[in-house]
Structure 1
Amino acid sequence: MIVARSFSPMEQKKLGCAAFFLAFFIIAVTLSSIFKPYLGPLPTLSDVYEIEGDVRIHGSTSTIFISSPPQQINSTTTKQFWSTKPYPRKEDTVAMAKVTAFKIQYATAVSSPPQCDQIFTSPAVVFSAGGYAGNHYHAFVDVLVPLFSTSHHFNRDVVFLVTNDLSGYNSSSWTSKYKSILDQLSKHDIYKTDTENQVLCFSRIVVGLIKTPREFAVVDPRYSTNNNSSTRDFNKMVRSAYSLKRESLSEDIRIFRQPRPRMLIIRRRRDRHLSNGKETVEMARSLGFDVVMKPVVWNVSSVARFVNSFDVLVGVHGAGLTNMVFLPENAVVIQIVPFGLENLARSCFGKPAEGMNFRYLEYKGSLNESSLVGKYSDGAKVYADPAAIYRKGFDGFRSVYLDNQDINLDLGRFKGTLLKALELLRV
């Protein structure tokens, strides 16, 4: 009131309205973050539900029962169940169409909860391996990193309940493909809810995964938005999962024994192909690198060990660069950015590489290096304003700049980027 006296009546009214909406927003965010049965209905816009009490899940019907005495339920409440999809990319309708919805409902005297087949003393996390998780990049960004953020503070004493366990390479399931990482986060068996006919009972369950503020970012739910854990912690966990020998480039004595630092150039087989890859390899070797150029699409454990043996990782923007998570710290990551993809490249791999304590370099391809030249009329927006194409919708943007573009490097210009990488390795 003392502060308010220094404002006019109209200004005081505006301040009051602002304070009301701020308070309403804080309350809404608080309620949407944590739910306990006695508080009433779950907010429908929540990304993650944390439920404590007598919680029972029947996987094959994708139903979660909350057992509450009738007097704890508001008799005026007509809605007794809520639906949620346990995948963080809520705004993407294409991804969410591939994710199973779970129904969370109260058990009442009329509709009693099913009997428990198994009772657990450990908490559980329910998540989906659907959406885009079949893609190596999205497996990490949409599931593994959010799962780390959601569950690592349980110190492995947590049960994972997974739906949409998609097949990966060699017809293995998604959970089999990333089992080494999942074992670092949980010491218990994984339950696949799609085929689980038993009723599993818990006293605490988290439905969904924390949506991180940016790609590969780690959030610790115990400390709100103040990260007490980092992306580097996630990388350490990954290196431990695959028993990788090289923790940090500076600690690896082999770099001092061998005069030629090792460079891996990821070869893309389809879109965003490096047209003069052979010439690029020859130039890099002439500068003093021991170069390997090949695609990396086989068993994750083999890929992890293979990538960890290199000092420099080079790749055109794409999912293959996700394998930088297996590099030792202080390694050099060079992202070749095709024309029009500057903003996407920075958010997907540039900032994450820096957060993982890699030395990051970016080579921005010009229009003259792009296969887009000649495909459209002179002065077309595709050339003049890629941002305008993006604003019209990501599908159209992707069809032009991601799915329909190769790059032919200006070797004279790219040479400067490789020389900078050599300088960084000597620091």
Structure 2
Amino acid sequence: MGMDAGGGKLPYSYAGQQDGGKLVKSVSRVEPRRFGLGLVAGFLLVTCAYFSTAKFDAIQIAMSGLEDEELQVQDAVASGSKRSKDSAAAAAATRSANVSSPSVVHSHHAILPAPAQRIPEVKQADSETTPAREREWKPLCDVTSNRRIDWCELDGDVRVVGANASVTLVAPPGADNRTFRAESWRIKPYPRKADPNAMRFVRVLTVRSVASGSGEAACTDGGDDDVPALVFSDRGYTGNYFHAFTDVILPLFLTARRYAGEVRLLVADLQPWWVGKFLPVFRSISKYELVDLDRDPRVRCFRHVQVGLTSHADFSIDPRRAPNGYSMLDFTRFMRAAYGLPRGDVVAAAPARRPRLLVVARARTRRFVNTEEIVRGAEAVGFEAVVSEGTHEVAPFAELANGCDAIMGVHGAGLTNMVFLPTGGVVIQVVPLGGLEFVAGYFRGPSVDMGLRYLEYRIEPEESTLVDQYPRDHPIFTDPNGIKSKGWESLKDAYLDKQDVRLDMERFRPTLQEAIAHLRKAKAKANGDGNN
């Protein structure tokens, strides 16, 4: 999209783990003692069963208290029938039980305020009820229906081996051609499959199915995990703030929110600085530690795995295709709750306070060169104006944006922060010279879907600093379509990288007036209904 990178390293540290599995296993070994006398044996059996049940209830209460805490390391509890293990795999499992995995991303409590808005409750996804041996065969992967991403869904005995980048479905014994066929796919789990530049650093995963008894490595932790897993990459263009949202954060919400925290995230190409930057999001999506798949020495086993995240379009959700009918409104509520932001609606501001406008001041390209004049013009129509370039940290800017009623900026990644605006706010996108209305669409539709009022201001040549660089008869003014016909790099170089904006405040004033009129009308309507 030709936007500024939004990446930045945060000094997050990772430490601490908790072993909840040992507690469960120790209680599960309680067995009733058998005595010769029938009456005594019966009494003891009933008593032992009672206390065994009581202990399990206590465990459930204790574990439920962790749900709202920082992510903790939790060993998978073996359930169901044990898979056969060769001696080498058993030895590896024993060794791994004694040391923490270097692939698990630990974290201290993030320094954030407690959520003022509760994250909206969701219906947890139903687990697979049809046994694997009874389900009719279908391809593991879909590489045709979605133009953005190839994705795979595996149910049954699924084994994930980070060391060799493989996700393998092992067929149940006795599976026939009706329910099983051997397959192998090469998948890059990042939603820009048509863009070679974005995909070149994304790790290839082998997704396959094999017959039972094929010699696959046994599960390191001794059994399968009933918690489903999602496998995805955080590489690609995620150093760009907009792409971080549209390529990972939004698809992750769309894919994983339905699990209500009961999902494990396995991240290929994991970038610790990037995970730290969006740590509150990951904490709100999953109750479990993230796994750095590339450094993971274990054989992790699951009953359900999805490789690749669900993605509809750039910065957009189609509720008709989304789990639980999710919409962009749901996404913005989730983001505000994840970052502990207090305002859900513009009318929640103090009655006496003037509407607040956040002016996004870009640092390098497409800058406002008359920022002070813009501030005076905004204040003249009734706004309180706040100017910020933003920082590499998400939380402070999210708090700033949520405290405002409107956001304005030249087309660029900074407008992504509209996700933190309260519902009913206003977005003003200033579109630079060069026929860039098509790229303005990245924010036009999504802002409306978020419950925001969208206003678009297209500058005239006199408002562009290109007039200081080229004569007015230059093709950059007379033939923008010719510039665009030479390709994206030509357009980017001419109109996105070399152009700043000098707003004509006389011409721009009606846009500001329309924005503040909308906000005043919303507040008046709320006050008229008796809801402040």
User: Does TM, normalized by the shorter one, top 0.5?
Assistant: yes
Partner of 1:291: 385
How many angstroms apart in 2 are the aligned matches of 1:40 and 1:86? Answer: 17
Q: Which secondary structure state, in structure 1, belongs to the residue aligned with residue 325 of structure 2? A: coil
**TM-score normalised over the length of structure 2:** 0.67
Partner of 2:465: 371
How many angstroms apart in 2 are the aligned matches of 1:48 and 1:145? Answer: 16
Q: Which secondary structure state, in structure 2, belongs to the residue aligned with residue 39 of structure 1? A: coil
**2:407 paired with 1:313:** yes
How many angstroms apart in 2 are the aligned matches of 1:268 and 1:426? Answer: 28
Return the offset for 1:125. 0.8
Decide which of 320, 335, 345 is 1:238's aligned counterpart.
Answer: 335
User: Judging changes above 3 Å, is the alpha-carbon distance between structure 1 residues 73 and 175 closer, same or farther for their aligned structure 2 residues?
Assistant: farther
| Stretch moving more, 415-424 or 45-54 | 45-54
Q: Which secondary structure state, in structure 2, belongs to the residue aligned with residue 203 of structure 1? A: strand
Query: Would the aligned equivalents of 1:44 and 1:82 in 2 still touch at CA under 8 Å?
Result: no
**2:470 paired with 1:357:** no
Deviation string for 1:208-234 (max 9, x for gaps)?
012213x322246xx647982210000
Partner of 2:229: 124
Partner of 1:162: 267
How many angstroms apart in 2 are the aligned matches of 1:73 and 1:381? Answer: 66
Identity %: 36
How many angstroms apart in 1 are the aligned matches of 2:284 and 2:435? Answer: 35
Q: Which secondary structure state, in structure 2, belongs to the residue aligned with residue 104 of structure 1? A: strand
Deviation string for 1:48-97 (max 9, x for gaps)?
111111111111321111212587586xx998421001011111111011
What letter matches 1:274 in structure 2? Answer: F
**2:312 paired with 1:212:** yes
| Stretch moving more, 314-323 or 364-373 | 364-373
Decide which of 399, 410, 415 is 2:504's aligned counterpart.
Answer: 410
What letter matches 2:513 in structure 1? Answer: L
How many angstroms apart in 1 are the aligned matches of 2:203 and 2:187? Answer: 9
User: Judging changes above 3 Å, is the alpha-carbon distance between structure 1 residues 306 and 380 closer, same or farther for their aligned structure 2 residues?
Assistant: same
Partner of 1:257: 352
Partner of 1:197: 297
Q: Which secondary structure state, in structure 2, belongs to the residue aligned with residue 105 of structure 1? A: strand
1:174-193 alignment runs, 5 A limit: 174-193=274-293
Query: Would the aligned equivalents of 1:37 and 1:51 in 2 still touch at CA under 8 Å?
Result: no
**TM-score normalised over the length of structure 1:** 0.82
Decide which of 427, 436, 453 is 1:333's aligned counterpart.
Answer: 427
Partner of 1:81: 184
Q: Which secondary structure state, in structure 1, belongs to the residue aligned with residue 344 of structure 2? A: coil
Query: Would the aligned equivalents of 1:123 and 1:202 in 2 still touch at CA under 8 Å?
Result: yes
Aligned residues: 380
Cα RMSD of the aligned pairs, angstroms, is 2.6
| Stretch moving more, 181-190 or 409-418 | 181-190
How many angstroms apart in 2 are the aligned matches of 1:285 and 1:385? Answer: 37
Partner of 1:143: 248
User: Judging changes above 3 Å, is the alpha-carbon distance between structure 1 residues 387 and 205 closer, same or farther for their aligned structure 2 residues?
Assistant: farther
Query: Would the aligned equivalents of 1:37 and 1:66 in 2 still touch at CA under 8 Å?
Result: no
Partner of 2:367: 273
User: Judging changes above 3 Å, is the alpha-carbon distance between structure 1 residues 143 and 73 closer, same or farther for their aligned structure 2 residues?
Assistant: farther
Decide which of 243, 249, 258 is 1:153's aligned counterpart.
Answer: 258
Partner of 1:102: 205
User: Judging changes above 3 Å, is the alpha-carbon distance between structure 1 residues 219 and 206 closer, same or farther for their aligned structure 2 residues?
Assistant: farther
Q: Which secondary structure state, in structure 2, belongs to the residue aligned with residue 131 of structure 1? A: coil
Decide which of 20, 36, 39 is 2:138's aligned counterpart.
Answer: 39
Kindly indicate whether structure 1 or structure 2 has the higher relative contact order, using CA contacts under 8 Å at least 6 residues apart: 2
Partner of 2:13: none
| Structure with more of its chain in helix, by fraction | 1
What letter matches 1:139 in structure 2? Answer: A
Deviation string for 1:364-392 (max 9, x for gaps)?
11122112236456544432343443343
Deviation string for 1:254-313 (max 9, x for gaps)?
1x222x221111111101011111221122223322112120123211111111111121
Return the offset for 1:136. 1.0
How many angstroms apart in 2 are the aligned matches of 1:332 and 1:224? Answer: 27
How many angstroms apart in 2 are the aligned matches of 1:417 and 1:345? Answer: 20
User: Judging changes above 3 Å, is the alpha-carbon distance between structure 1 residues 53 and 390 closer, same or farther for their aligned structure 2 residues?
Assistant: farther
User: Judging changes above 3 Å, is the alpha-carbon distance between structure 1 residues 37 and 184 closer, same or farther for their aligned structure 2 residues?
Assistant: farther
Structure 1 unmatched ranges of 5 or more: 1-35, 168-172
Return the offset for 1:331. 1.0
Structure 2 unmatched ranges of 5 or more: 1-134, 522-532
Larger Rg over CA atoms: 2
Partner of 1:13: none
